[in-house]
Structure 1
Amino acid sequence: MITELGSAFVLGLAGAGHCVGMCGGIAAALQLGGNSGKGITLAYHGGRIASYTALGAALGFAASSIDIAAWTISLRYLAGALLIAMGLYIADWWRGLQWLERGGAIVWRPVQRWSSVLLPPRHWYQAAGLGLCWGLMPCGLIYSSLAWAATAQDARLSALMMLFFGLGTLPAMLATSFGAGAVQGLLRRRGLKLLLGVLLMASGFWTIYMAVAHANHTNHGGSGHQQQQQVDDARHNHH
């Protein structure tokens, strides 16, 4: 569990530049109200992270409803592939995850129309509602993170993974909201993005390696069981 939660946090932290580009405008606008805007800003980010967590729990529960060994192993392969893809995305070496954003735009349009009535948020509950809607925006980083969290096949763990992903996005988003340019600059540094991207890819390759090892163990175990069954049948026929 620690590995998954650590990877989720690193993923959120590594996506700082992308998060600022996608959500930075609304995050900065929420703070225009001065001191009174701080509560609204925090409510917005709370709602945003809550939406990630709830979606993670739902997808983790759905994935856990299928109890088949081949399904579980396939999800582990998918988890590793997604981590590698997200590492490449963070490092700006491959932008293939953008196709998720194009597909997600279909879901986002009706949500965007509904959430527009909450702009500008004047009360904390309006900001929290806006944050809940923002979790569905067409963002390849969010969608791929949700797909990866679902591979845990456990509602609680998937929810925690998305919670830690959301917490990882907070430094960049709060820096944008409260005008901390130094923090934004640090999180956008090319060297840091490359380091975090490589760490994600390493985690992905390790996940695939463990999936292969588990699959081989399962196959060998299954072969041994079949051989034992054949021996038992032969003994029974002999008698």
Structure 2
Amino acid sequence: MNELTLTSAVLIGLLGSSHCLGMCGGLSSVLGVNAKAGNRSRIISYNAGRLLTYTVIGAVAGLIGEALLNTVPQAAVVLRAVAGLLIIAMGLYVSQWWMGLTQLEKIGARFWRYIQPLTGKLLPINNHRQALLLGTLWGLLPCGLVYSTLSWALASAQWQQSAMLMLAFGIGTLPAMLSMGFVGEKILQRLRQPGLRRIAGLVIIVMGIATLLTPVLHSGHEQHAGHQHHDM
């Protein structure tokens, strides 16, 4: 797992956070606004729970990917292609040019309906423990942004790397989520501006294309190196 990959994951979380705010920001805002002065740090506990969940499901995805590649090594190309295409779809989703990822969220919603009743038992938030637990559950909220990044973690096929990838993504979402909790609706309005969403979407699309092309470029580099060695 190189620094460029982790940086890309942070950028995806940061650039896609306008979508995160649409799904989680309301809750973050309530946590921040309703908490008494001095207790707003509960928003930090809530987000720590989210990041914990992202890290765990990233590790699980990595284990699944590793087991799959040990059984079918050729699947690496397919996993990488799926990850690249989903990241491109994420960029289109964030820019609101194509909302196909909503179909993926609908599938996840079937699972979420079993989790959601548990979140209600933790409201209202009265302490850091409740905020942390709510964050861990909210990390499972059906979200195309999370699913797309998770497919990238699956393609990494090493649980440590996959966990780090999802953690980096979660860290990327923190600035917007923490700002929402402490500042409120103004941040959400700015991040939802069409121009900003289009720029963010374009950058994410470029990342998806890079994900698709990396194996091809790497293969070409290896072949070129092999020819040079043969010539020598």
TM-score (normalizing by structure 1): 0.84
Alpha-carbon distance in structure 1 between the residues aligned to 2:110 and 2:206: 33
Cα deviations by residue, 1:178-197 (Å, 9 ceiling, x for unpaired):
11556445433333322222
Answer whether contact 2:80 2:152 (CA < 8 A) is retained: no
Q: Does the Cα contact within 8 Å between 1:10 and 1:196 map onto a contact in 2? A: no
SS in structure 2 at match of 1:17: helix
Aligned to 2:20: 19
AA partner of residue 28 (structure 1): S
Find the aligned partners of 1:209 and 1:54 in 2 and give their Cα distance.
28
Which residue is equivalent to 1:5?
6
Does the 8 Å CA contact 1:49/1:166 hold for their aligned counterparts?
yes
Asked if the contact 1:30–1:37 (Cα under 8 Å) also holds between the matched residues in 2, the reply is no
How many residues are matched? 221
Q: Distance in 2 between matches of 1:152 and 1:134?
A: 24
Distance 1:6 1:191 in 2: 23
Percentage identity across paired residues of the two chains: 40
Could you tell me how far 1:132 is from its partner in structure 2? 0.2
Report how far residue 109 of structure 1 moved: 1.0
Partner residue, 2:228: none
AA matched with 1:109: R
1:106 corresponds to 2:107: no
Aligned counterpart, 1:47: 49
Matches within 5 A, 1:127-138: 127-138=131-142
| Aligned residue identity for 2:18 | G
The residue that corresponds to 1:64 in the other structure is 66
1:61-119 deviations in Å (ceiling 9; x for gaps):
11111324311111111121122111111111111000111111111111111221111
1:143-177 Cα shifts (integer Å, max 9, x gaps): 22212221111111111111111111111111111
State yes or no: 1:171 paired with 2:175. Answer: yes
Q: 1: CA distance between counterparts of 2:166 and 2:211?
A: 18
2:81 to 72, 77, 88: 77
- Supply the distance in 2 between the matched residues of 1:180 and 1:133 (Cα, whole angstroms): 22
The farther-off stretch of 202-211 and 180-189 is 180-189
Contact 2:62 2:159 in 1 (8 A): yes
CA distance in 2, matches of 1:58, 1:20: 25
Greater shift, 90-99 or 6-15, is seen at 6-15
The 5-angstrom pairing of residues 146-185 of structure 1 reads 146-179=150-183, 183-185=187-189
Residue in structure 2 matched with residue 207 of structure 1 by the alignment:
211
Q: What corresponds to 2:226 in structure 1?
A: none
Amino acid corresponding to residue 55 of structure 1 in structure 2: I
For structure 1, which runs of at least 5 residues remain unmatched after alignment? 220-239
Gaps of 5+ in 2: 224-232
> Is the 1:121–1:127 Cα contact (8 Å) retained in structure 2?
yes
Measured against aligned partners, the alpha-carbon deviations of 1:35-74 in whole angstroms (never above 9, x if no partner) come to 2432211100110111111110111111111324311111
Quick one: distance in 2 between partners of 1:55 and 1:21?
22
SS, match of residue 124 in structure 2: coil
Give the match's secondary structure for 1:150.
helix
Alpha carbons 2:28, 2:180 under 8 Å: kept: yes
CA RMSD, 1 decimal: 2.3
Larger Rg: 1
